[in-house]
Amino acid sequence: MTVKTKKPVKTKKTAAKKITPKKTAPKQATTPKAKDPITKNLDIYGAASIPWSRALKQLEAGTPGTFWLATTSADGRPHVVGIGALWVDGKIYLVSGARTRKGRNLAANPNCALSVSLTGIDLVVEGTAVRITDRPTLLRLSKRYAAQGWPASVNGDALTAEYSAPSAGPPPWNLYVVRPTTAFGVATAEPSGATRWRFENTR
């Protein structure tokens, strides 16, 4: 009696396939957009909230008129003065002589408010003034002032010019930036309304 044995089954060897990763386009860096402020309707007559864009468009146009700066001295006395200011990249820039009353007030208490009458809306902006001393920003803002008609130039860590407002004091003048924390708008033309805007801290 013979025993039949099964012949081993030959298996074909297959080479492993190489998986090549798909090429993807590099991600482009995107500039984060500024968040819209938190809006609260203050109108007591049923008018809708005023959109922040109504004021922002005029501020960005660069011709808002005279700003009024309100500061407080170390002993609590208030002071208001008309100034020329610039709205740049969502912030307000202003200059002040170190020995002027507003300059001394800002040194003692940097919390301040600025108001301006725009077309169809009166605006008040609250914030904290920070002195700017880095040369790139001073150069950039001096050019912006020059474009507005005031021939400012950089002198050390401040700005200077052949002339300034009669109440500005002698040069050089310190440059400050105010980042809005809260703003209030009251419409002076239709559509009417009164609104408060709160802003998140931005760089």
> Of residues 64 and 199, which shows the higher confidence score?
199
The percent of residues in the chain predicted with pLDDT above 70, rounded, is 81
Do the bridges between strand 153-155 and strand 121-132 make them parallel or antiparallel, or are there none, so unpaired?
Answer: unpaired
Q: Determine the 3-state secondary structure of 137 from DSSP.
A: helix
Distance between alpha carbon 58 and the CA centroid of its chain, in Å? 15
| pLDDT value, residue 17 | 52
* Domains of the chain in sequence order: 38-198 (2.30.110.10)
Q: What is the pLDDT of residues 128-173, one digit of tens each?
A: 999 999 999 999 999 999 998 999 999 999 999 999 988 788 899 9
pLDDT band at 95 (very low <50, low <70, confident <90, very high): very high
| pLDDT value, residue 24 | 47
| pLDDT value, residue 181 | 98
| pLDDT value, residue 19 | 53
84-120 burial code (b ≥16 CB/10 A, e <16): bbbbbeebbbbbbbeebbbbbbbeeeeebbbbbebeb
Cα–Cα distance between 62 and 84 in angstroms, integer?
11
| pLDDT value, residue 27 | 43
Contact in structure between 91 and 179 (CB atoms under 8 Å): yes
Q: Which two tokens stand for residue 135?
A: 């040369």
Position of tokens 């400012």? 152
Q: Is the pLDDT of residue 123 over 80?
A: yes
What is this structure's pTM?
0.81
| pLDDT value, residue 98 | 93
Q: What is the pLDDT of residues 48-83, one digit of tens each?
A: 999 999 999 999 998 678 999 999 999 999 999 999
Q: What is the pLDDT of residues 162-181, one digit of tens each?
A: 999 887 888 999 999 999 99
Q: What is the pLDDT of residues 13-58, one digit of tens each?
A: 555 455 554 554 444 433 345 678 999 999 999 999 999 999 999 9
| pLDDT value, residue 200 | 86
